[in-house]
Amino acid sequence: MNCHVIGDLLPLCADGVATPESQKLVEEHLLHCSSCRALYAEMCAPMKVQATAQELDYMAAVKRQNRRFFLQLYGSLLAVILLLTAGWFVREIFRNQGWHYAPEPISREIALQEMPQVLLTDEEITLAGQIFSLPEMQQFFAARLTDNPAALPAPLLTELLTLAGKNPQNLAGAAATAYRSTLWLEYREDGFRYILEFIDADQTGYTDLFRKTVCRDEENVRLVYTAEINGALLTSSNKAETDLLVCYEKTEGKRDWSVSFSNEMPK
């Protein structure tokens, strides 16, 4: 077959659309025709496009613009990450200064001198020793079906305040909240805020830990005093020994209150 006919078939073979018969004819011809073989190789070679200078300048400008865009994008993302990280560190710093406190142990003499209100009274110690054995308290805890904090009824709150040696009519914002086997009793008196915590950790009906917290009745409290005694000492008949074994602490900064009280004592 002559080269003119093969020349018409070469483009079809190069594009891969020739019939098997035509493809076979071309392959047999290329075996002994160097000119057609060279022409076919040129057709099959990748097309080289020579860009003009203007096109090269345009492509370079596009590359610079894309590079600038991605640099701005990366810079913005980095700024956001740094800002969030800085905000987190600032929050942690202020939180550590304001709410996460480091109490300082103090002696009974210092507590008596700086905050005598934090000293445990006989009535409070007696109440701590018998609070979980009161029939009303046992009925209250037995009636609760969930682990959510619950406020004590007003009559029971009044009874607890009276047993603690307080006149409920003279107290502001009095409330009591129970959670599992812990009871928080709060009231305000003479410009001070009091929180009494009664903890029955092993749920045996006896107070395992009694904690009393006192601070100035201000919104931004900076000084907090705490008295704490093991429940096993609440029945001690030796008052001097009981006073000796009470642990006192002083905190510079807000205390992270475990429970927020909102119920007020009815007038």
Does residue 208 surpass a pLDDT of 80?
yes
Does residue 267 surpass a pLDDT of 60?
no
pLDDT at 266: 35
Can you list the positions of beta strands (E) in 219-263? 223-230, 247-252
Digit-coded pLDDT (tens) for 216-246: 876 666 788 888 888 777 766 666 777 778 8
Average pLDDT (56-63) is 78
Would you say the C-alpha torsion 224, 227, 230, 232 has a positive or negative sign?
Answer: negative
Provide the angle, in degrees to the nearest 10, between the axes of the packed helices 20-30 and 3-15. Answer: 120
Provide the angle, in degrees to the nearest 10, between the axes of the packed helices 20-30 and 34-44. Answer: 120
What residues contact residue 89 under an 8 Å CB cut-off, 6+ apart? Answer: none
Task: Spell out the domain ranges in the chain.
Answer: 3-44, 53-98, 104-252
Residue type, 195: I
Average pLDDT (163-180) is 84
> Under a CB-based contact definition with an 8 Å cutoff, are residues 78 and 86 in contact?
no
What is the spatial distance between Cα 3 and Cα 101, in angstroms, rounded to a whole number? Answer: 97
Neighbours of 47 (CB within 10 A): 5
Digit-coded pLDDT (tens) for 88-131: 776 666 554 444 457 788 888 999 999 999 999 889 988 888 88
Average pLDDT taken over every residue of the chain: 78
Of the two residues 169 and 52, the one the predictor is more confident about is: 169
